[in-house]
Amino acid sequence: MSSTSRRAAVAAGSLALATALAACSSSGADGGAGDAETAETVTVEHAQGSTEVPADPQRVVVLDMGVLDTLDTLGVDVVGLPKANVPSFLGEYESDEYTDVGTLQEPDYEALARLDPDLVIVGFRSAAAYPELSKSFPTVDATFEWSGDYLANFGESATMLGEIFGKESEVEAALADIETQAEEIRPAGEAAGSGMVLMTSGGEVTLNGADSRFGLIYSELGVTEAETGVEAADHGEAVSFELIRDVNPDWMFVVDRDAAIGESSGQAAEQVLDNELVTSTTAWQEDQVVYLDGERWYVVMHGLSNVPAMLDEVGTALAR
């Protein structure tokens, strides 16, 4: 999709969010006009429905690291987050200034109740908690589809956040820069030949296709899938070293899941792949095995500052 058409798609998606300002007036205790209070809310459509939230909420809890990255980029503060999964480049959020609200998969509902946030944002790993959270707090789900047009889908989610916090122009500018960056890298990706995106964990290897969280390497940066029809499972499709040898990719992009989540008991990705089957491939022989930053690609996955860093990692590797 061209930059122009993609921006049009994002704009259409933004309109589809059906943002509506609703002036909610309430009279003071004596009913006098001078005591009237006016509060604004914003109604947004998101991955799990429609939610009315306060315009420019002040007590925000985030249960997704990509959303945290976006809010950090926009200068929006939060009061709580799951501290067990904070990536190093967002390490300031591990301080006592912020309340720990459980994990990405299991929110601490008691901690949330004590915080009494005026907005909770879930996404991906925490999306399953939306039904329960939305009973108590205004909650939106920033999850988007990996498949299809990654940047357009990501753009719609980021645009929703921009509208909630009155940061529409900042989001639009950041998305335009990301589009330009991807377009600049794409010729190198198209010329690179075939590629495989592999993830290692516990000594096992999985292959991740165009519909995976890592799919933008194919869909946005133009690298040709060395093996198509890959199962779109959360952690990829298990593959053998023999298959990697037989497919013989020109490039391998590798994510070490254990390192990304701080699991140190297993073998590192470099050790897992260092065998005669994998080292016989063109990618290995040509020194075209790229070990991606697992925090950015596996834990955070999106975000207005993180996506440019992800693109830069691949672009730098392809340009060498």
Tokens representing 258 are 């254990």
Q: Which CATH class is domain 187-319?
A: alpha beta
Domain covering 41-143: architecture: 3-Layer(aba) Sandwich (3.40)
**pLDDT value of residue 6:** 41
At residue 39, the pLDDT reads: 53
> What's the rounded Cα separation, in Å, for the pair 123 and 146?
13
pLDDT of residue 233: 77
* pTM value surpassing 0.75: yes
pLDDT score, position 267: 87
141/136 Cα distance (integer angstroms):
15
pLDDT of residue 264: 77
pLDDT of residue 1: 43
pLDDT at 17: 38
What's the confidence (pLDDT) of residue 234?
82
10-residue mean pLDDT profile of the chain (320 residues): values are: 40 39 34 42 95 94 98 98 94 97 96 97 98 97 93 97 96 98 98 97 94 94 92 87 97 96 86 96 98 97 98 96
User: Does the fold of domain 187-319 match that of domain 41-143?
Assistant: yes
Neighbouring-strand partners of residue 25: 38
Residue 296 has a pLDDT of 98
> At residue 165, what is the residue type?
F
Q: Domain map of the chain by residue range?
A: 41-143, 187-319
